[in-house]
Amino acid sequence: MISAHLPALQVVIPLLAAPACVVVRQSTLTWLLALLVSWISFAIALTLLVQTFFNGPMSYELGGWAAPLGIEYAVDVVNAFVLVIVSGVSSVVLISAKESIERETHIKRTHLVYTGWLLCLTGLLGITITGDVFNVFVFLEIASLSSYLLVSLGPDRRALTAAFQYLVMGTIGATFILIGVGLLYMMTGTLNMADLAQRIPGVAQTTTVRAGFAFLVLGISLKAAVFPLHYWLPNAYTFAPSAVTAFMAGSATKVSIYLLLRFFFDIFSETFSLRTMRLDLILLILGVIAIFSMSLVAIYQSNVKRMLAYSSVAQVGYMVIGISLATTTGLTAGIVHLFNHALMKCALFLALGCIVFRLNSVDLKDLAGVGRRMPWTMAAFVIGGLSLIGVPATVGFISKWYLVLAALERDWWWLAFMVVASSLLAVIYIWRVVETAYFKTGPVANTEEAPLILLVPTWVLIVANIYFGVSAVDTISFATRAADQLLSTF
Amino acid sequence: MTISAFPPGALLILGAMLLPFGGPRTRTALMLGLPLATLWVVWNLPDGASATIAVFNYELILVRSDALGRLFAIIFSLMAFAGFLFALRQRSTLELVAAMTYAGGAVGVALAGDFVTLFVFWEIMALASSTIVFSAGGRQSTKVAMRYFQVHMAGGALLLSGILVHVTAGGSITFDSVDTNTLGGALILAGVLLNAAAPPVSAWLPDAYPEASYSGMVFLSAFTTKAAVYALIRGFPGTEILIWIGLFMIFYGIIYALLENDMRRILAYSIVNQVGFMVVGVGIGTEMALNGAAAHAFAHIIYKALLLMSAGAVLYQTGKRKCTDLGGLFQSMPVTTVCGIIGALSISSFPWTSGFVSKSMINDAAGHEHLAFTWFLLMAASAGVFLHAGIKFPWFVFFQKDSGLRSPDPPWNMRFAMIFFAALCIGLGIWPQPLYMLLPFPVAYEPYTAAHVVNMLQLLMFSGLAFFLMLPLMRRTLTITLDVDWIYRRLAPIIVRRCAAITLELNARARHTMLQIHSEVAKLTRNWYGENSKLGGVQTVGSTIAIALFVFAIILLWDLFTA
């Protein structure tokens, strides 16, 4: 029965397809292969989500070795939801990637992009699906190494320094996670997540476990670009090829946030992480600083891609705030924002990809007047921007609504106010782009609209932004279920 | 899914999306057909909630039909029809699309059964109406549209936060009367009042509306403020503070309109003034007063649109908008003149016009409740309305001196639209029963008693007399100054002038200080968050590692030494 092996296939198919890309080399063929594999992964992820939602969690023993010793893949609603996000983002972005990447990367290296892409996808899906903490580290390294490669393939030479900085910070993050995992292993003698969750309470008061906890907090926060550990992100996003930026924005930080949830709510229990260690306080403070300072920084950026990158750091702030509230509504807000932010940022970066394709620049000053020449692209950008701001009938509104509700549930008026106030900052930086694109005139007279193959995926995501903004019942019910599950702990 | 399960407002909003794509004929058909179709759907709506959907954990009632909501939905769709008839020749597609969306939003608000639906349509209206102002073109209107948009976004934020507070505090999501003693209720009231142009933020209305195109302002005058009046009637009947707010609006409108020179700005101020009457009605809160407020909103939409159509026709034909540049147009624009006068008589609630049958209900409601002071002020204000809108507008635009302009009457569609609304003004004035039957509460009211009529005629006659006696004084409104001394002459002219001077001085200083603070703050934020700052700039690998280690040190210490 193939359906019994779906959890393994989820990871194995892209893993095997990646070296095949190197063998094939031919640009279009590698793209087709990557596209096919990504869509298969997406289909598997959707199947897994439906199965776990109706039949409860599934466990898969890799190679037939039983759980505490062998590697276990454990799929529940939480990670099935993230699997869908990651593979879905990859699939939609890949459609437009061909044109965009051929324009931005040397033709001899395009197959490397797809190889890196598939490896990165493997790593991200692996981190998400596995039930073994050492396996998390392995996949984390696969995902990280391939994303350094992806960033370094950007069109600008500055991509190399950006990739280097990303490499240094990413390695520090991964090492910290490894040390944390090692310390836990020392005290419990197991690497299986479910096993760890059972054994940690017995040794929770030891300094070793507490130090391990600290290492994990820093490592994961670095990977998730939680303020002020975000410095690798703006450069990496700015100088990577447009399609890669869209892919990473919709997947990489999301998976790290998932890790944060998994480690601090499941492996360490919510009581230990939040009540005893007061991680919620740290996250809340950092989150609130992030949503304001990073939005303000975004306002002053002259490069639109960079502006959106900073906005991503701010958005991570919203997720972290939701998580720090540690109520069902708060976690729901955080988790649903994972999905919603993937939709909006991915759409926005794809729209920027269209602009890069025609203008070879995303400097704000070069965008003057582009609204008339590229109406569909800019319309997509505007709707994506509205979603980022949180206008009703877009997904952004759903996220903000739940976050505000969660804050009000705890009677934290000031927090609700801050969330709303900070989204006004998003109005400012989006408006700067809109104003330049529509109300200023510039030398873009002979620019044409971007080709359909770039526009269609962009608009698919835009429509999704509105669709899931209007009928949020499904996403909310998944997120609520995931939140409930995390809070009950296993 | 039956026809009643589809919100009628969405018919207009979705139809608006089609407008840019049709040829001229299709467009005309859509512009006239869609409002009529909406009117038909609204008219046939069964009572009670229909079209409910579940969003989040709430049951949203997209359409709830009762007498009050239906009254407003009917007049909104009727208004849309006449407005589009008037605007048939408008070349700006953007304005037409926005106007239709705007009308759809208004119909949606009138039929919204819960706060979320209300808010969504409310915001659609804000966005669409800003677009109407914006679409007039030119630098001025862009700026004004931005200002207008910001004000309404702030209002929307108030409303939304009010709704959130109201719902989380255990209030019902259904849109019914709200307790203003709770924080949620107060915030909702503030958000609604902002759209009603209540003090202290009345200025957005006369600031923005006159910058719209000749047809744009006709639409603008009808929907935003009246939707707010509807929300007040529904949510806050009998809230006493509304009486005082309304009275303030009435006199604010009169005084500023008397000082104004731009014909459409005069009419904009008189919107504030007329909405003031309705707000007073809601504040009194008896069945008769609420009936009066609703009826007055109904009548007001018609005659104010009529007045603005005639002003718009003048603007369209002559391109001039200042009273001082106009005059003597009655010779060449007879239809516009007659329609303008009918509108002017209606707004002054002259007997046998629609204004009379509606406003006297509010006045009498004040009398019935023995609110002597309120009643007295309302009567005084009625005279003031006649001064600023009833006589001043037609006199300076159509008569006065001969300005030498000989523009003909506007094209047929604009004439028809005006005649249609003029006929409604007179018709409702003579046969008020159909309007009374639509009102939310049963009506046992007879406007045409001898005392009423005589009383009103006397009032109007004397204020008319006063206008012509003081004509030389009225003429001094050529310039826009603080020259209000003719009102205050008998009080204390010197004090007024001194106060004005001090205010101006203080204002200038405050402005200077504000600008200074503003530039300091801007400098400071740029230093902190700008592209070359520590936060927003590029960091070396070394310093990022340092930051990471620093954060780690804190977390480690924190983890080891807490609990």
Chain B residue whose CA is closest to A180: B556
B121 residue type, one letter? F
Identify all chain B residues contacting A420, using CB atoms and an 8 Å cutoff: 157, 161
Q: How far apart are CA B477 and CA B291, in angstroms?
A: 37
The answer to whether A179 and A217 are in contact (CB under 8 A) is no
The answer to whether B7 and B111 are in contact (CB under 8 A) is yes
**Given its phi and psi angles, is residue A56 left (phi above 0), alpha (psi -120 to 50 degrees) or beta?**
left
Phi, psi dihedrals of residue A56, rounded to the nearest 5°: 85, 175
B476 residue type, one letter? R
Which A-chain residues 190-219 have CB contacts (< 8 A) with chain B? 207, 210-211, 213-215, 217-218
Identify all chain B residues contacting A165, using CB atoms and an 8 Å cutoff: 541, 544
Q: Where are the alpha helices (DSSP H) in B260-391?
A: 263-284, 287-318, 334-347, 354-368, 372-385
Q: How far is B166 from chain A (nearest CA, A)?
A: 11
Regarding pTM above 0.95, the answer is no
What does each C-alpha distance from B85 to B35, B105, B302, B418 come to in angstroms?
Answer: 10, 19, 14, 9
Chain B residue whose CA is closest to A310: B536
What does each C-alpha distance from A159 to A105, A133, A143, A174 come to in angstroms?
Answer: 12, 32, 18, 21
**The token pair that represents B314 in the structure block:** 């003048």
The answer to whether A103 and A244 are in contact (CB under 8 A) is no
Nearest to A482 by CA among A370, A332, A365, A334: A332
Q: How far apart are CA B460 and CA B217, in angstroms?
A: 28
DSSP string, B322-359: BGGG---GGGT-HHHHHHHHHHHHHHTT-TTSHHHHHH
Q: How far apart are CA B431 and CA B433, in angstroms?
A: 6
Identify all chain A residues contacting B119, using CB atoms and an 8 Å cutoff: 392
Q: Is B562 on the interface with A (CB under 8 A)?
A: yes
Q: Is A310 on the interface with B (CB under 8 A)?
A: yes
The answer to whether B113 and B64 are in contact (CB under 8 A) is yes
CB contact under 8 A, A392 and B120: yes
Q: Provide the 8-state DSSP code for B490.
A: T
Q: Going residue by residue through chain B (563 aa), what tens digit of pLDDT does each one get?
A: 344 467 888 889 988 888 888 788 888 898 999 999 999 988 888 888 777 777 667 778 888 888 899 999 999 999 999 999 999 888 888 899 999 999 999 999 999 988 988 999 999 999 999 999 988 887 788 888 888 888 888 888 899 989 988 888 888 888 888 888 888 899 999 999 999 988 877 888 888 888 889 999 999 999 999 999 999 999 999 888 999 999 999 988 888 888 788 888 889 999 999 999 999 999 998 989 999 999 999 999 999 999 999 999 998 988 888 877 888 888 888 899 999 999 999 998 888 889 888 888 888 888 888 788 888 888 888 888 887 778 888 888 888 777 777 888 888 999 999 999 999 999 998 988 888 888 888 887 888 888 888 888 888 888 888 777 777 766 645 444 333 334 434 455 566 677 777 877 887 787 788 778 878 887 887 777 777 777 777 777 788 888 888 888 888 888 777 75
**The token pair that represents B555 in the structure block:** 């977390």
Q: How far apart are CA B178 and CA B236, in angstroms?
A: 6
Q: What is the pLDDT of residue B488?
A: 38
Instruction: Measure CB to CB from residue B525 to each of A217, A278, A296 and give the nearest one.
Output: A296
Identify all chain A residues contacting B555, using CB atoms and an 8 Å cutoff: 214, 217-218, 282
Q: What is the mean pLDDT of each run of 10 residues along chain A (490 residues)?
A: 79 89 86 91 91 85 76 87 91 88 82 90 92 91 92 87 90 92 90 87 86 90 88 89 90 90 87 82 90 89 90 92 89 90 92 88 84 87 90 88 89 87 87 85 74 88 88 83 77
Q: What is the pLDDT of residue B484?
A: 36
Query: Which of B141, B551, B554, B561 to mutate to test binding with chain A, by most A CBs within 10 Å of its CB?
Result: B551
Q: What is the pLDDT of residue B486?
A: 40
Q: Is the omega angle on the peptide bond into residue A228 within 30 degrees of 0, that is, cis? A: yes
- For β-strands A58-61 and A72-75, DSSP reports them as antiparallel
Identify all chain A residues contacting B535, using CB atoms and an 8 Å cutoff: 293-294, 296-297
Q: Is the dihedral of CA B127, B129, B135, B137 positive or negative?
A: negative
Nearest to B38 by CA among B20, B63, B60, B59: B63
Integer-rounded Cα radius of gyration of chain A: 21
Count of CB atoms situated within 10 Å of the CB of B3? 12
Which A-chain residues 218-237 have CB contacts (< 8 A) with chain B? 218, 221-222, 228-229, 231-232, 235
Which A-chain residues 377-406 have CB contacts (< 8 A) with chain B? 391-393, 401, 404-405
Q: What is the pLDDT of residue B491?
A: 57
CA dihedral B483, B488, B489, B493 (to 10 degrees): -70
Instruction: Measure CB to CB from residue A218 to each of B142, B544, B551 and give the nearest one.
Output: B551
Cα atoms in the 13 Å half-sphere on the side-chain side of A440: 15
Integer-rounded Cα radius of gyration of chain B: 26
Q: How far is B193 from chain A (nearest CA, A)?
A: 21
Chain B residue whose CA is closest to A403: B164
Q: How far apart are CA A154 and CA A218, in angstroms?
A: 28
The answer to whether B194 and B148 are in contact (CB under 8 A) is no
The owner of tokens 């690998």 is: B541
Identify all chain B residues contacting A409, using CB atoms and an 8 Å cutoff: 168
The answer to whether B367 and B360 are in contact (CB under 8 A) is no
Residues B82-119: b if buried by 16+ CB within 10 A, e if exposed:
bbbbbbbebebebbbbbbbbbbbbbbbbbbbbbbbbbb
CB contact under 8 A, B528 and A296: yes
Q: What is the pLDDT of residue B168?
A: 84
- Residue B399: Cβ-neighbour burial (10 angstroms; 0-12, 13-18, 19+): middle
Across all residues in chain A, what is the average pLDDT?
88
CB contact under 8 A, A229 and B547: yes
Nearest to B436 by CA among B299, B246, B281: B299
Q: How far apart are CA B431 and CA B444, in angstroms?
A: 14
